[in-house]
Structure 1
Amino acid sequence: MTEDHTPEPGQKPRLKRHFFLRIDSWLDSTLWNAGYDLVEIWEEITIFFRRFRVRGLKKLGFEIAGEAMTLGTAGMVVLLTLAQPALEETKKDWRNHDNFAVTFLDRYGNTIGHRGIIHENLVPIDDLPDHLIKAVLATEDRRFFEHFGIDFLGLARAMTENAKAGTVVQGGSTLTQQLAKNLFLTNERSIERKIKEAFLAVWLEANLSKKEILSLYLDRAYMGGGTFGAAAASQFYFGKSITEVTLAEAAMLAGLFKAPAKYAPHVNLPAARARANDVLTNMVQGGLMSEGQVVSARRNPATVVDRDEAEAPDYFLDWAFEEVQRIAARFKDHTLVVRTTIDTGLQQAADEAVASSLREYGESYNVRQGALVMLESGGAVRAMVGGRDYGESQFNRATRALRQPGSSFKIYTYALAMENGYTPSTMVTDGPISWGNWSPHNYGNSYAGRITIETALAKSINTIPVRLAKEKLGIDAIMQTAKAMGVETPLRKDVTIPLGTTEVTVMDQATAYAVLPAGGYQSRRHGIAQIMNYQGEVLYDFDRDEKPADRILTAQAAAYMNQMMTKIPYIGTARRAALDHGIVTAGKTGTTQAYRDAWFVGYTGNYTGAVWFGNDDYTSTNNMTGGSLPAMTFKKLMDYAHQGIDLKPIPGIENPLPGPDAAKTVAEAKPADDPTALPPMVRPRSLSSQSTRLIRDIAAKLRLAAPLGPAQSASILN
């Protein structure tokens, strides 16, 4: 019989106590045994690996290998991170370029250039002359068939030669890298672009054959004279098919790939021949030909067809081609004739204005690049300058370069203020202000106290727009106003945005400022007037197919802005921008920190122009402000543009112009009073606006009566 134990009051049952003791004993023994077993296992592992222990130099090798594996793993992670932006470029339809063949006309119907594939020039690479292929490879990439997109040996050789010469005498980019840049990227000089270029070159090598890469390179490269591809260049320079070029002609073509502007034979034949002789030397040094095979080409250099030296508006055509692809993607026919808005007379004047500014003042101001966009009332792009020389760099600084606008961005804050009940005579306080850890200062570190908004804008005082943004308007509202007026570049939200620290393009600024002479309506910037197929059918017409302009600012706000903006060229920071002969001028200067960027964006009742000067590498200029070279360049172009035309008033401004003979008075160009001003350009006589409208009406009626081909349409427009 079992003894019945009755627990005393307050005591736990004995069975429960024994149960917890067993649990505690099991945990202790299990943990101890597990620890013991782990020690035993670790000892066995240690004994096992002692067999592989090395000493001396072998140990050093193992240590280096271990570190290399660690660094290699980290490097792969970094490389994959850097490769992501480059691989995003490959998702675009980069072959879509081949789907379009576009002939461009100016606003009057004259042919000004081509973009896309020229079908009659397509030549399979197997049909190209052997000496042309050898000339290209000897000059551009001798190890083309040996590398995988990046030639480290060639890069080391180029770095060595450049170090010996003390300057850049050889390039390290492979032919594949150059193709990657042509297909996916721009000519912008930046580390980011070079990293993308390297990854894309490897991607091209992995996805295309060497023959396809070489064929694309020969078809896509800019060759000077407005031509793209070796086949088009052969027709332009020699008047013959690419399959018929001689060795001397092939050498001249091969010499164009790196510097088409410098060696274009229709511009500088001696330089082109000297470059071709260097190409022949490269072929001999590369073992592709003997000296005896090239001696005849040296003695009988290539001659070229006489061509007009007038350059095509290539920066504009590149941008217009992108616009055509966007608009015409829905059309079945991609062989098109496009009438653009470009005015070749104004384009040449714009090119000359920028070029002469850089030629005369570039060295003293330490500035090497400039860009300009000119819009006519209604939004038509009449001129575009994307850089100093298209042959040297096809990167369009007017539409692609993101630069800080400085004080030229202030108009969005003031426009919003006018929308919110302020007037030009509203009194504001110019004094010290802080926003978080940021305390903006005026130029010269002085403060004016109580002043009007009109004076604040004219004198480009920094504290006022910051105070308005902080206390009344808000950063988000300013950003929305800028976007509504036409700034398409994504804006970076920051408290410093009222002073223009976020990047924009020259095209953005021209588009947005054009809202003001339009009386507050959307400027409707455009470069394409009509798109036609080769049967003369109008597939797209801007006036017919685009919606009317939306109102962006109220008429009163726009009038107030115009009243303030017209003071700046006369009592403010842009006195060198004021046009001659009483033509009312409005605009705003902009200068960024360390003088890296200088802007003037201005307008009259007829035209809006945005001008930028700076350096591609973001180095500082020599104290150049927006009121100096940009304002002078604007004035030179606008004085030319306003000769012999009907002058339009700026909304809200009484134009103090002469009477009915104003156009005749304006047409008499005379030297400016400012001795530092650029010399004036004289615009040739042209048809009056009434005559132009009459001719266009006649052309439209004839087109409706009997549909015409593009060549016939162009002849009527002429």
Structure 2
Amino acid sequence: MARSNPSRAKGIFVSVLKWALAIGFLGLVSLGVAVAVAMTQLPDYQQLSRRSDLGQMVRVRAADGTLLVSLGPSFGRWLNYDEIPPTMRSAMIAVEDKRFRSHIGVDPIGVARSFKVRIQSGSWKQGGSTITQQLARNIFLTNSRTFGRKVKEAILALALERKFSKNQILELYLNRVYFGGGAYGIDAASRTFFGHGAERLSLGEAAIIAGLVKAPSNYSPTADVEAARGRAGVVLNSMVENGFLPASAAVGVDPAEIKVQPAAKQNSVRYFTDWALPQLDTLIDETSDPIDVWTTLDPGMQSAADRAINGYTPPGAQGALVAIDRDGAVRAMVGGRDYVDSIYNRATQAERQPGSAFKLFVYLAALESGMKPDDTIVDEPVTIDGWTPRNSTRTYVGQVTLREAFSRSINTISAKIGDALGFGTIADMARRFGISGRISTFPSMVLGTSDVRLIDMTRAFAAVQNRGVSVMPYAIRKVVTADGRLLYQHQANEERVLVAPWVAAGMTDMLQSAVLSGTGRAAQIGRPVAGKTGTTTSNKDGWFIGFSSGLTTGVWMGRDDARPVGGLQGGAAPARAFADFMKVAVAKRPVEQFETKAPMPDWQLEPDEEAWGMNYVDSAPLVDADGNPIGRQPANPLAPEAQPQPTQGGSQVDQQWLDEVLRRNPQNRPQPAPRNPPPEQQPLEPAPDPLQPRP
């Protein structure tokens, strides 16, 4: 019996060994089959080199090329293996997978060390994943820490090694791995952290990038530059220890001297990018390749705008500013005091009463009807359909010129003009100049009781500065792919003559007077400025909109809940913010004198009904392609001898031409209100908004 026990034990051992060998053989066969199947299902190299599966990268740039914001994953240029600096390749191998060139996709030594650490510490502290395994996980799997995921990762790594060369695997890895800050691939990381392409990486910069893979958030240079530099030292030591770098070369690198590019500021500029980027839907069809969006924003002006709004907006209130160049390019936009606190864009979304700033349209209509800045009107009590407007001074000055009435923002004069021309005429003028919201035709509308947007009002003033020719604000100059392929180039919009040049010149004359001697004196900047203040009831809103040297800027201040703000008047904080901004914005622009004496047409100088064969009072204002008037009513309709005969609703604007300007279907044209509108009358429907993306 004693001899039988060893024999039995030996038999059991042999049986177990046979079963183990059989199971191992079956396991190897199964592994081989799994790897073979995985190889057949792997995409080809060209497909793996596309990174659209990670989402679209959109880099938004200022007019001078400065990076404003990078949205989505950030991709740089795809670098072929030979284009990748040798130091970058060596640094990555040294710190992530020093036996990369010798293993088969899975490193048995690394796996064993990982299990040893697991047993000693009781937790997984060392992954043991090779570069090939990391590539498989990044492309095909998730980061979940499960045994099943590790098995799949190993199978895919073996398949990758069978299908691609080591150089191809390293090229894929270095162009796809995540380095933090939204950057995928070494070129994106290099541009994000150092401001140049990866082909120009120095040894120290390559060490910083290689050190990011372990923990992109912890070692990101833009988050903790000292941690990134310390990690770079570890990478350099690893390169020396593994024979990738001579010790003398490592000694010559001081990580503390490596310059890191600061992260792009993303506060007030995000108001602009949030407004601009949705417009891409109507400009391009590309939705996968990385793109660079070149915008019109001027970084210097944007900084000045931010300082002006935050420096002058009263406590507890909000402020907004938008600046539009003569061609429509938006140079600065601030939608609130702090984007982090509130993403609501008060420059493009908020609709508020403009107060006296709306008088721009009242006086444009007056000038177009034949009045001139030097014509006189009596400032006196007036009642229109039961409404009695009051001047802010609660006094009346008697005979005043149109220029002085506008400069001093006399309410009774605006009411008289509206009553004589018809409030529908004033509304049509506002619509003609781009006011897209609902416009009331009640008498009080001449004092700015209809809600408007700051960008619309600024656009209207810009058209006056542009000699009466329409100005369409735009934000995107061009869109290109990462490899330089042009997808979109801005083309100048078709210009439309909104009013004749002499009307715009007369309006500019009065706007300039408002700044020189009227309510807008605080907006003076030492060069010609034209503009208008606006203040609403109980100081709920304060406006100043004006232009100088080809740049038109609008400023609004108020509370989001429309509660009164003590001391808020358009001629105070908004005008001062305007001046503070404009002093910087136009500092390098030549001083331009305003054109306030455009030649008058013959019919204005010598009105003769027979010369036109029509009744001037009932005729509509017509303008030819060059902006020259071809028919009008007599001068100064408020003069007693004119005796204007109001048409239905008082509208004297040629509807066919206005329909064309507003791109409006005549069948959907808003009908002017009767002279005595009932209480239930609704304001005019808003026109289609040309600044919003089409559905």
Mapping of 1:79-478 within 5 angstroms? 101-115=57-71, 127=142, 307-308=262-263, 310-311=265-266, 313-328=269-284, 330=285, 335-358=290-313, 362-363=314-315, 367-472=316-421, 474-478=422-426
List per-residue Cα deviations over 1:209-242 (Å, max 9, x = no partner). xxxxxxxxxxxxxxxx999xxxx99x98998999
SS state at 1:638 partner: helix
Cα distance change, pair 128–388 in 1 and its aligned pair in 2 (3 A): farther
Q: CA deviation at 1:332?
A: 7.0
Conserved? CA contact 2:192–2:261, under 8 Å? no
List per-residue Cα deviations over 1:545-603 (Å, max 9, x = no partner). x43311111011001001111001111001110112xx111100000011010000011
Conserved? CA contact 2:74–2:182, under 8 Å? no
Amino acid across the alignment from 2:486? V
Cα distance change, pair 338–547 in 1 and its aligned pair in 2 (3 A): same
Q: CA deviation at 1:396?
A: 0.7
Decide which moves more: 642-651 or 340-349.
642-651
Amino acid across the alignment from 2:571? G
Measured in 1, the distance between the counterparts of 2:144 and 2:438 equals 48
Measured in 2, the distance between the counterparts of 1:560 and 1:634 equals 23
Specify the alignment match of 2:174 in structure 1. none
Cα distance change, pair 641–332 in 1 and its aligned pair in 2 (3 A): closer
Amino acid across the alignment from 2:275? W
Q: CA deviation at 1:487?
A: 2.0
Measured in 1, the distance between the counterparts of 2:144 and 2:568 equals 51
2:562 to 618, 627, 643: 618
Measured in 2, the distance between the counterparts of 1:552 and 1:125 equals 59
Cα distance change, pair 241–401 in 1 and its aligned pair in 2 (3 A): farther
Specify the alignment match of 2:596 in structure 1. 652
Amino acid across the alignment from 2:551? Y
List per-residue Cα deviations over 1:339-385 (Å, max 9, x = no partner). 11111111111111111223xxx34xxx4210000112221111111
Measured in 2, the distance between the counterparts of 1:333 and 1:99 equals 7
Q: Is 1:635 the counterpart of 2:590 in the alignment? A: no
Amino acid across the alignment from 1:478? I
SS state at 2:362 partner: helix
Cα distance change, pair 482–494 in 1 and its aligned pair in 2 (3 A): same
Q: CA deviation at 1:105?
A: 1.6
SS state at 1:617 partner: coil
Cα distance change, pair 123–584 in 1 and its aligned pair in 2 (3 A): farther
Measured in 1, the distance between the counterparts of 2:286 and 2:347 equals 28
Conserved? CA contact 1:458–1:564, under 8 Å? yes
Cα distance change, pair 127–635 in 1 and its aligned pair in 2 (3 A): same
Amino acid across the alignment from 1:526? Y
Identical aligned pairs, as a percentage?
Answer: 31
1:593 to 537, 548, 564: 537
Specify the alignment match of 1:562 in structure 2. 508
Cα distance change, pair 432–128 in 1 and its aligned pair in 2 (3 A): farther
Measured in 2, the distance between the counterparts of 1:123 and 1:501 equals 58
Q: CA deviation at 1:424?
A: 0.4
List per-residue Cα deviations over 1:418-446 (Å, max 9, x = no partner). 11111101222222222323221110221
Measured in 2, the distance between the counterparts of 1:518 and 1:127 equals 57
Which 4+ stretches in 1 moved above 6 angstroms? Answer: 122-126, 235-244, 264-267
Conserved? CA contact 2:528–2:592, under 8 Å? no
Specify the alignment match of 1:522 in structure 2. 470
Q: CA deviation at 1:624?
A: 1.3
List per-residue Cα deviations over 1:466-497 (Å, max 9, x = no partner). 2211222x222222211221223343443322
Measured in 2, the distance between the counterparts of 1:593 and 1:429 equals 24
What root-mean-square deviation, in Å, do the aligned CA atoms of Structure 1 and Structure 2 show?
3.7
Conserved? CA contact 1:428–1:451, under 8 Å? yes
SS state at 2:337 partner: coil
Cα distance change, pair 332–370 in 1 and its aligned pair in 2 (3 A): closer
Measured in 2, the distance between the counterparts of 1:129 and 1:236 equals 28
Measured in 2, the distance between the counterparts of 1:615 and 1:266 equals 38
SS state at 2:446 partner: helix
Unaligned runs of 5+ in 2: 1-53, 77-136, 146-180, 194-207, 228-259, 599-695
SS state at 1:567 partner: helix
Q: CA deviation at 1:525?
A: 1.6
Conserved? CA contact 1:565–1:588, under 8 Å? yes
Cα distance change, pair 240–651 in 1 and its aligned pair in 2 (3 A): farther
Aligned length: 397
List per-residue Cα deviations over 1:77-105 (Å, max 9, x = no partner). xxxxxxxxxxxxxxxxxxxxx98642212
Amino acid across the alignment from 1:572? G
Specify the alignment match of 2:665 in structure 1. none
List per-residue Cα deviations over 1:156-175 (Å, max 9, x = no partner). xxxxxxxxxxxxxxxxxxxx
Conserved? CA contact 1:489–1:508, under 8 Å? no
Conserved? CA contact 1:606–1:647, under 8 Å? no
Measured in 1, the distance between the counterparts of 2:569 and 2:302 equals 25
Mapping of 1:48-59 within 5 angstroms? none
Conserved? CA contact 2:541–2:558, under 8 Å? yes
Cα distance change, pair 497–265 in 1 and its aligned pair in 2 (3 A): farther
Specify the alignment match of 2:548 in structure 1. 604
Conserved? CA contact 2:502–2:597, under 8 Å? no
Conserved? CA contact 1:376–1:608, under 8 Å? yes
Q: CA deviation at 1:310?
A: 4.0
Q: CA deviation at 1:612?
A: 0.8
List per-residue Cα deviations over 1:19-48 (Å, max 9, x = no partner). xxxxxxxxxxxxxxxxxxxxxxxxxxxxxx
Amino acid across the alignment from 2:585? A
Conserved? CA contact 2:418–2:446, under 8 Å? yes
Measured in 1, the distance between the counterparts of 2:585 and 2:388 equals 42
2:432 to 459, 478, 484: 484
Q: Which has the higher helix share?
A: 1
Measured in 2, the distance between the counterparts of 1:541 and 1:404 equals 36
Conserved? CA contact 1:517–1:605, under 8 Å? no
Q: Is 1:508 the counterpart of 2:464 in the alignment? A: no
1:534 to 478, 482, 507: 482
Measured in 2, the distance between the counterparts of 1:391 and 1:562 equals 38
SS state at 1:324 partner: helix
Unaligned runs of 5+ in 1: 1-97, 131-224, 253-263, 270-304, 655-718
Specify the alignment match of 2:520 in structure 1. 574
SS state at 2:443 partner: coil
Amino acid across the alignment from 2:281? Q
Measured in 2, the distance between the counterparts of 1:391 and 1:226 equals 19
Report the TM-score, using the length of structure 2 for normalisation. Answer: 0.52
Cα distance change, pair 561–123 in 1 and its aligned pair in 2 (3 A): farther
Measured in 1, the distance between the counterparts of 2:482 and 2:330 equals 24
List per-residue Cα deviations over 1:484-529 (Å, max 9, x = no partner). 2122334344332211111111111111100111111111221111
Conserved? CA contact 1:339–1:531, under 8 Å? yes
Measured in 2, the distance between the counterparts of 1:429 and 1:389 equals 46
Cα distance change, pair 306–529 in 1 and its aligned pair in 2 (3 A): closer
Cα distance change, pair 439–547 in 1 and its aligned pair in 2 (3 A): same
SS state at 2:399 partner: strand
Conserved? CA contact 1:226–1:311, under 8 Å? no
Report the TM-score, using the length of structure 1 for normalisation. Answer: 0.50
Conserved? CA contact 1:520–1:553, under 8 Å? yes
